[in-house]
Amino acid sequence: MQPPLPPAPAASPYQPPVQMVAKGAMYGFQRWLMFGLGLLVVSSLFGQFPLDASEPVAADYDLADETEAEQFADDLDGYATQVDLFAALSVILQTGSIALLAYAFAREAHEESSHHVALRITMVLASVILVTSLVGRNFSLL
C-alpha cells in the first residue's frame, strides 16, 4: 500500500491554469490579430458618430427670441460635446487596437521559429512602426 499523495497546491488566482499554459492556448497569433482588427473596426464606427445631420441648424430656431437663441447655443454646445466624446472614444479604441496588433506581431516574430527570417524581421519592423505611431501620435516639439 502506498502512502497518500500530498494535496496539490492551491491554484493562484493571479496565474493562468496549468492546462492552458501547457496547451499554449493563452496566446494565438490569429486570436490577437482578430482582437486588434475587430477593435479597429469598432473604433472606426465610433468615429462616424454623431452624424452631420444631427447638428443643430440656425434656421430651425427663431434667433430673434432670446430663449430660442439660448436653446440654439445650448444645442450647439451639446452637439460639440458629443462630437468630442465620440472622437475621444474612437482614439482610445484605435490606440488599444494598434497596441494589440503590435503585441501580436512582436510576439509572433519572437516566439515562432518556423517562419523565414525575412518574415520575422518584417513582423518586428511592423511592430516597431505601430508602436512608433502610438508614441508619435500627439508628440510635438513646440
Q: 3-34: per-residue pLDDT in tens?
A: 777 766 666 666 666 666 665 556 677 788 88
Establish if 10 belongs to a structural domain: no
Establish if 21 belongs to a structural domain: no
CB of 103 closer than 8 Å to CB of 126: no
Q: Give residue 73's region: left, alpha or beta (phi > 0; psi -120 to 50).
A: alpha
What nine digits make up the cell of 75? Answer: 444645442
Alpha helix (H) ranges present in 5-137?
Answer: 18-23, 29-46, 66-111, 117-136
Establish if 121 belongs to a structural domain: yes
Q: Residue 118: which domain range?
A: 28-134
What are the average pLDDT values for consecutive 10-residue runs of the chain, which has 142 residues? 70 65 65 85 84 84 89 92 90 86 80 75 83 74 64
What nine digits make up the cell of 136? Answer: 508619435
What is the full DSSP assignment across 51-76?
A: PGGGS--GGGS-TTSHHHHHHHHHHH
% pLDDT > 70, the chain: 80
Establish if 4 belongs to a structural domain: no
Establish if 108 belongs to a structural domain: yes
Angle in degrees, 0-180, between the axes of helices 117-136 and 66-111, rounded to the nearest 10: 150
Establish if 109 belongs to a structural domain: yes
Domains in the chain, number: 1
Establish if 8 belongs to a structural domain: no
Establish if 91 belongs to a structural domain: yes
- Interatomic CA distance for residues 108 and 70, integer angstroms: 57
Cα–Cα–Cα angle for 99, 100, 106, rounded to 5 degrees? 85
Position 77 scores a pLDDT of 93
